[in-house]
Amino acid sequence: MPRTGTLESKKNARRSSWKQNPQAVQENILRVAQEVFSRNGLSGARVDEIVSLTETSKRMIYYYFGDKEGLYRRTLEEAYRKVRQQEVELDLDHLAPLPALEKLVRFTFRHHRESPDFIRLVMIENIHHGTYLAQSDTIRELNRGAISQLERILARGKAEGVFRPDADPLTVHWQISAMSFFNVSNRATFSLIFGDALNSTAGQDGLETWVADSVRRMVVPSNPIS
């Protein structure tokens, strides 16, 4: 349907020239999308809100990402990619097993703490039963390696006799993740019910040490008292 009068207005109002910049546009959309999806969830997020926080128009989202779910999927992918990138440069192999493990745990705890948006995206994804994560081969492969550093540390520690021979890397990783994740994911309800003592700077530092201790005490040979 041809618009009436547009032909004329187009001539008068010579638009301030827009530059073609596909890459910047996509990055702009993804950055905003991460923020909005993280805050409101998949069904809670409004495409129009994303648009309004963007330098571009609604059409662009559908042009580059197909539909809302496509944008969400790409957002999730980018978030995982960024997080995993940061995790690699820890250089733990030159440390003794116990200090290496402690450094890894403390890094994980702090890293989760500083990435609430990412945590929220993972929460949202779990609400959706991992539907969209399941659709992305790249994310799944990317993450499998997340455990390899821990595997090496545990192997060295077992060889030296400072770690229990039956300490399972997957389970230890699970333990580290559980506490680091929960610390962020359930902050709202936990603080409301039990107060925010654990949420203060001192409280968080205390928890970090607690988590590091609890992991160390689990991989070390049995406590004779028990």
Partner DNA sequence: GGGGAATTGTACTGATCGGTTAAATCGTTA
Partner DNA sequence: TAACGATTTAACCGATCAGTACAATTCCCC
Is residue 155 near a copy of itself by the rule CB under 8 A? no
CA distances to 32, 124, 143, 205 from 71, rounded to whole Å, are 11, 14, 21, 36
Q: Which residues contact 191 (CB under 8 A, 6 or more apart)?
A: 198, 199
Per CB under 7 A, contacts with DNA among 49-108 are 56-60, 62-63, 67-69
Residues 209/202, Cβ–Cβ less than 8 Å: no
Query: Beta-carbon neighbour count of residue 206 at 10 Å?
Result: 13
Selection from a copy of itself, DNA, none that 5 binds (CB < 5 to 8 A by kind) is none
Query: Beta-carbon neighbour count of residue 150 at 10 Å?
Result: 22
Question: Which one, 1 or 193, has the nearer CB to a copy of itself?
Answer: 193
Smallest gap from residue 188 Cβ to DNA (A) = 22
Is residue 201 near a copy of itself by the rule CB under 8 A? no
Question: Which one, 63 or 181, has the nearer CB to DNA?
Answer: 63
Is residue 222 near DNA by the rule CB under 7 A? no
Spatial distance between the Cα atoms of 44 and 201, rounded to a whole number of angstroms: 31
Residues 29/45, Cβ–Cβ less than 8 Å: no
Would you put residue 54 in left (φ > 0), alpha (ψ -120 to 50) or beta?
Answer: beta
> Number of residues in contact with DNA, rule: CB under 7 A?
31
Selection from a copy of itself, DNA, none that 7 binds (CB < 5 to 8 A by kind) is DNA
Selection from DNA, a copy of itself, none that 189 binds (CB < 5 to 8 A by kind) is a copy of itself
Which residue has 């994303």 as its token pair?
50
Closest CA to 172 of 104, 225, 114: 104
Is residue 144 near DNA by the rule CB under 7 A? no
Question: Which one of 3-11, 105-113, 148-156, 179-187 is the stretch in contact with DNA (CB under 7 A)?
Answer: 3-11
Is residue 131 near DNA by the rule CB under 7 A? no
Question: Which one, 7 or 192, has the nearer CB to DNA?
Answer: 7
Q: Which residues bind DNA (CB under 7 A)?
A: 1-4, 6-7, 10, 14-22, 25, 45-48, 56-60, 62-63, 67-69
